[in-house]
Amino acid sequence: MTDKPAYPVQLVQPDGRRVFDREHAALVADIGPERLRALYEDLVVSRRIDTEATALQRQGQLGLWPPLLGQEAAQVGSARALRPDDYVFCSYREAAVAYCRGVDPGDLTRLWRGAAHHCWDPAAINMTNPNIVVGSQGLHATGYAYAAHLDGAEIGTIAYFGDGASSQGDIAEAMGFAASWGAAVVFFCQNNHWAISAPVRVQSATPIVRRAFGYGIPGVQVDGNDVLAVLAVTRQALARARSGGGPSFIEALTYRMGPHTTADDPSRYRFAAETELWKRRDPIDRMRRLLEREDLWDSDIDKQVTARADEVAHRLRTATIEMADPDPMRLFDHVYATPHPLLTEQRRAYAEYLAGDPGTSSAPPEGVRA
């Protein structure tokens, strides 16, 4: 006897038609006309942030940028399920989540321009900065969630990662700990089908969500290009976390339409036909078709959304180009929690080097790059 096949949760089809799903539709029953339009605006603005940042990198204004093109619904839907006191542990691609959490568009590129070691203040929005160490945020999120539970905080914690990171030992260890100790963390896997040039089929012989079952963690697979479906399942998982129900796993099926980063050329490892297939499942087109079907769309809304996207893009571009270079002496800030004699000596020697003191070497002090 075979198990009944489980299909990804979907509430809106690519052509904009609603899907009958009593359980999950009930979780977003409060999303009326105005909030549907607001979600559409979030999607459009998120894409504009991404295209503007990509353009800035191509123009030499950023050193690197990790595009999120095609993944807007997975990020916006999950981010809008969060409460202000919930905590987010991101990877490096969650610019849309950061926008929804309230990050100033002008701060989104600070790290990628090389002007700072961070983009925003994590304490201000309860969200960590972009994390380049693949998968490590799963451990951080699990520890935070467990500590919050010990403190009696009724919050949710969410960890974002990709299909490639699901093969990292850090994610496996995090799920093992979370399951054993009931840590209230939501593992949110954006399965965009490509870990740089490695297709998802080499990450797992079964759907990634099934890995969670082996740890005793409940999981769900969702259409990651359906913003309402993502909102519904994330709300469900976060409610479980806040009520002491332990961890959950969400696999959002989406697609990275662009390169892994702006240093990548996806045409070298994937076919245009595959990209074209996913283009027909575009999350923004899907949401607009839903609005049109339900008579919630007109030219005034289109102008309003476009104006907001233009405003955000202008803020991002202007702030990036006008961003001041950091003081070189800040290199020594936040290295140790307490004063350290070696660092003090390096700071002194580097200051003399920068000042061009004739009594110093023409090279920077040992251990410090010019």
Active site amino acids: 256, 260, 269
Query: Which helix (H) or strand (E) element contains residue 49?
Result: helix 33-58
- Residue type (1 letter), 7: Y
Contact call for residues 225 and 286 (beta carbons, < 8 A): yes
Partnered with residue 252 across adjacent β-strands are 190, 222
Q: Please tell me the distance from the alpha carbon of residue 369 to that of residue 99, in angstroms, as a whole number.
A: 34
Question: Which class for 26: exposed (0-12), middle (13-18), buried (19 or more C-beta within 10 A)?
Answer: exposed
Contact call for residues 171 and 165 (beta carbons, < 8 A): yes
Cβ count within 10 A of residue 328: 14
Query: Which helix (H) or strand (E) element contains residue 161?
Result: strand 157-162
Phi, psi of 193 (to 5 degrees): 75, -5
Q: Which two tokens stand for residue 207?
A: 């759907």
User: Collapsing DSSP states into helix, strand and coil, what is residue 223?
Assistant: strand
User: Collapsing DSSP states into helix, strand and coil, what is residue 354?
Assistant: helix
Contacts of 69 (CB under 8 A, 6+ apart): 47, 50, 51, 54, 256, 257, 258
Q: Please tell me the distance from the alpha carbon of residue 138 to that of residue 299, in angstroms, as a whole number.
A: 43
Phi, psi of 188 (to 5 degrees): -110, 105
Partnered with residue 189 across adjacent β-strands are 161, 251
Query: Which helix (H) or strand (E) element contains residue 162?
Result: strand 157-162
- Residue type (1 letter), 46: S
Contact call for residues 216 and 232 (beta carbons, < 8 A): no
User: Collapsing DSSP states into helix, strand and coil, what is residue 62?
Assistant: coil
Cβ count within 10 A of residue 29: 8
